């Protein structure tokens, strides 16, 4: 069963420093070949972005789920089209992601803006509406120094855009952080004809693998005396102290009740158990569709990567340590 925090960690192995390769680091399939690999793809093919054509050869199920998640973030009425394009461009610019910037600019144009103006609007945002300006600054801060974002910065955003849109914004910024690292890891460049629009298709969901058979009864091992506990290191004690201090801090957003999340998800939703986890309750309580799509993609990545759990958790620890993420 995939770790519920898992990301496609095998992609991290593709990272090779900050230099951008002249060619993508994986073979890029044609549209037709990549489309045929996606599970249950409709007969009518749509133009696929270059990152999906590179990834489909390695992880077709994960690619399908990520295309669906990408479309959710780039369409719909959770956030205004120009607003989300400005946020996405600001995140990509902070991440130095050429493909992320090109995708955001293309979406800005589809929303009625002038793509050529977007860089100046985000970098010199006097002409942006207040909500767009605050959100673009937030996205940049989250990419460059997420642990340094202040309570006041988040409080001001919630005052302007509300809690539901704030959660959509947070999910978009988190998605941008992952996506840009994927783009940079694969070393993909924007398509000559422009980044294609989000894929509208929905793909099949293969049945999950059957659970392993129950283990046969084994004789209980002989009892042995437990060794005395090792003295705690100073580093461990500092970590514990920091965690206890973090628990005393008030959250930045109202946490929905378990009952409210259950009502939103419905009685038969397999994610009901996650309402007992505070951050999952916030995510599902405000943006259940985005949250479900992210967990679907994460589960697909865990299934296709089949990484050793110890290795996966070491990678997860390294990422969270680098971000100074207390959770």
Instruction: Give the end of a domain, one of 186, 209, 236.
Output: 186
Q: Where are the alpha helices (DSSP H) in the chain?
A: 31-37, 50-55, 60-74, 81-95, 98-110, 118-123, 130-145, 151-161, 163-186, 234-247, 258-265, 278-286, 288-305, 309-323
Q: What rounded mean pLDDT belongs to the chain?
A: 88
| Same domain, residue pair 269 and 142 | no
With beta carbons less than 8 A apart as the criterion, state whether 120 and 98 touch: no
What is the reported pLDDT for 229?
A: 73
| Same domain, residue pair 45 and 145 | yes
Q: Per residue in 197-219, pLDDT tens?
A: 999 999 998 776 666 676 666 67
pTM of the model: 0.84
Q: Is residue 12's pLDDT more than 60?
A: no
The model's confidence at residue 306, banded by pLDDT at 50, 70 and 90, is: confident
With beta carbons less than 8 A apart as the criterion, state whether 296 and 62 touch: no
| Closest C-alpha to 208, from 286, 299, 146 | 299
Give dist(CA 180, CA 101) in Å, integer.
9
Instruction: Please state the domain count of the chain.
Output: 2
| Same domain, residue pair 34 and 180 | yes
pLDDT (mean) for 122-131:
89
Give dist(CA 251, CA 116) in Å, integer.
39
Give dist(CA 214, CA 85) in Å, integer.
50
Domain of residue 24: give its range.
9-186
Domain contains 316: yes
């Amino acid at each position: 069963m995939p770790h519920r925090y898992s990301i496609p960690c095998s992609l991290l192995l593709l990272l090779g420093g900050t230099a951008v390769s002249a060619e993508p680091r994986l073979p890029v399939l044609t549209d037709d070949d990549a489309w045929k690999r996606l599970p249950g793809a409709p007969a009518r093919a749509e133009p696929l972005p270059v990152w999906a054509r590179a990834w489909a050869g390695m992880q077709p199920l994960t690619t399908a789920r990520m295309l669906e998640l990408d479309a959710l973030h780039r369409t719909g009425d959770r956030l205004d089209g120009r607003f989300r394009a400005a946020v996405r461009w600001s995140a990509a610019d902070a991440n130095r992601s050429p493909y992320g910037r090109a995708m955001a600019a293309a979406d800005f144009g589809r929303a009625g803006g002038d793509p050529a103006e977007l860089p100046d609007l985000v970098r010199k945002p006097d002409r942006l509406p207040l909500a767009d300006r605050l959100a673009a600054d937030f996205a940049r801060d989250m990419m460059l120094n997420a642990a340094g974002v202040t309570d006041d910065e988040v409080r001001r955003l919630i005052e302007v855009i509300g809690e539901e849109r704030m959660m959509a914004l947070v999910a978009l910024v988190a998605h941008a952080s992952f996506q840009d690292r994927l783009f940079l890891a694969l070393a993909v460049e924007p398509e000559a004809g422009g980044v294609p629009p989000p894929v509208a298709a929905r793909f099949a969901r293969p049945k999950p693998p059957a659970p392993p058979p129950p283990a046969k009864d084994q004789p209980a091992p002989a009892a042995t005396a437990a060794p005395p506990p090792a003295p705690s290191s100073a580093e461990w004690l500092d970590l514990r102290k920091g965690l206890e201090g973090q628990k005393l801090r008030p959250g930045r957003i109202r946490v929905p009740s378990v009952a409210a999340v259950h009502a939103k998800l419905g009685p038969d939703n397999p994610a009901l158990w996650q309402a007992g986890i505070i951050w999952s309750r916030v995510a599902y309580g405000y943006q259940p569709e985005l949250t479900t799509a992210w967990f679907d993609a994460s589960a697909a990545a865990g299934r296709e990567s089949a990484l050793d759990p110890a290795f996966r958790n070491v990678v997860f620890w390294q990422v969270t340590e680098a971000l100074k993420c207390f959770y």
